[in-house]
A = this chain, B = another copy of it.
Amino acid sequence: MLLNVDLSDQRPVYQQLRDQVVEAIADGVIHEGNRLPTTRQLAADLAVNFHTVAKAYDLLRQEGFIQVSRKTGTAVRITGEGPAPEWRAGLRTVLAEAFAKGMPKEEILAACREVLDSFGASRRTDGSLA
């Protein structure tokens, strides 16, 4: 079960799914060309409304993380174009939260390094997502 829904999470369900797919790509758990389950399939597995899954997929498509085709379904797509320009604003806010709470810059940077080190390490064979 790679994707899951936490109802106690503040984020909307579609956002949770979107974030988990992005992190799964970063982790290397899913790769370029891997196919994602159909919206109805994933919705059934997670016991959520399929419109919710569709919204998450649509968001991922707009952001360029996946490619949707009527014939071949939904597939992961690595573009290499880098994040959108707004990305830095989000990074700035997250880092500011820690620094404004008194966390030293070196520790924040160390945390970033640790997180980055955890990316691109995992591999899985079956490619199932849920």
Q: Which residues of A contact B (CB under 8 A)?
A: 7-8, 12-13, 19, 22-23, 25-27, 48, 62, 64-65, 67, 69-72, 77-83, 87-88, 90-103, 105, 107-109, 111-113, 115-116, 118-120
Q: Are A116 and B95 in contact (CB under 8 A)?
A: yes
This chain's copy number in the assembly: 4
**Distance A48 CA – B105 CA, assembled complex (angstroms):** 35
Q: Are A91 and B112 in contact (CB under 8 A)?
A: yes
Q: Are B100 and A13 in contact (CB under 8 A)?
A: no
Q: Are A99 and B119 in contact (CB under 8 A)?
A: yes
Q: Are B100 and A65 in contact (CB under 8 A)?
A: yes
20 contacts between A and B (CB under 8 A): A8-B67, A8-B69, A19-B93, A22-B97, A23-B92, A25-B96, A26-B95, A26-B96, A26-B100, A64-B101, A65-B100, A79-B102, A83-B97, A92-B115, A95-B115, A95-B119, A99-B116, A105-B116, A105-B119, A108-B116
